[in-house]
Amino acid sequence: MSQSPWQPISPAKPVRERKAPLTRERIVDAAMEVLRKEGYDGVSMRKVAQELKTGPASLYAHVANKRELDQLLVERANAQMVFDEPVDPTRWQEQLKALMREMLRAMRANPGVARAAIGAVPLGERALQTTERMLTLLKAGNLPDQAAAWAVDLIPLYVTAVAFEETVQSASDWTPQDVEEFVNGLRTFLAEQPADRFPLVVALAGPLTSGASGDERFEFGITVITAGLAALADRT
């Protein structure tokens, strides 16, 4: 039966936009976005839920708690690390340095992840792949088992500390002029200490406050670590 011409036409019902299903990947994406905008301290289950336009309770069906969310953030950074070269026992030291540089690059690409990694033991698949790569390099250098085991704790600890320090510094509102004034003041403070009590502090006030870049200091650190590990290698 056709509709009467004078019967008002019912307005079309608005089509409700269907939400994409909630997944761990989407939760990590949202957490990364909160991390980018607000830093690590701003990341909470509630804030991530707000980013996804849902309630916090819906997240817990996919992520147990904030600690697991931290693990997933670290896993995401590990997934961005690339190791193209096969392990070469003749170049294990240089390849170990390259691994540390790649680890720092991934941390820098995800500011705030370093804070999530501090004090944690990453157990995701990609994190374990990074650990396996480190162990393979260390064993290629003939390191004793215990030295290799401790090294895979030491290396991420150093890289994470560097990345975390950079995150803290970048969050400050200091200008390059502020930094220069602080360094100059620190140099003067050290140089003016009693030379009879702190002779080397006074003598090395310049080098202690040198303007070396963060990359230069990082390279010094990985050189020291690699050389120290090489000294522990089993020569037999």
Report whether 213 contacts 179 (CB < 8 A): no
What confidence score (pLDDT) does residue 175 get? Answer: 79
Domains of the chain: 24-77 (1.10.10.60), 78-231 (1.10.357.10)
What per-residue confidence (pLDDT) applies to 119?
Answer: 76
pLDDT value at residue 109? 92
Given this model, what pLDDT does residue 168 score? 82
DSSP state string for 114-160? HHHHTT----SHHHHHHHHHHHHHHHHTT--HHHHHHHHHHHHHHHH
pLDDT of residue 80: 93
pLDDT for residue 4 = 56
Q: What is the pLDDT of residues 64-85, one digit of tens each?
A: 999 999 999 999 999 999 998 8
Give pTM, 2 decimals. Answer: 0.82
Q: How far apart, in whole angstroms, are the C-alpha atoms of residue 76 and residue 129?
A: 13
pLDDT beneath 70, residues of the chain: 1-19, 171, 211-212, 236
pLDDT tens, position by position, 134-172: 999 999 999 999 999 999 999 999 999 999 998 887 767
CA distance 43 to 92: 38
Residue 170 is predicted with a pLDDT of: 75
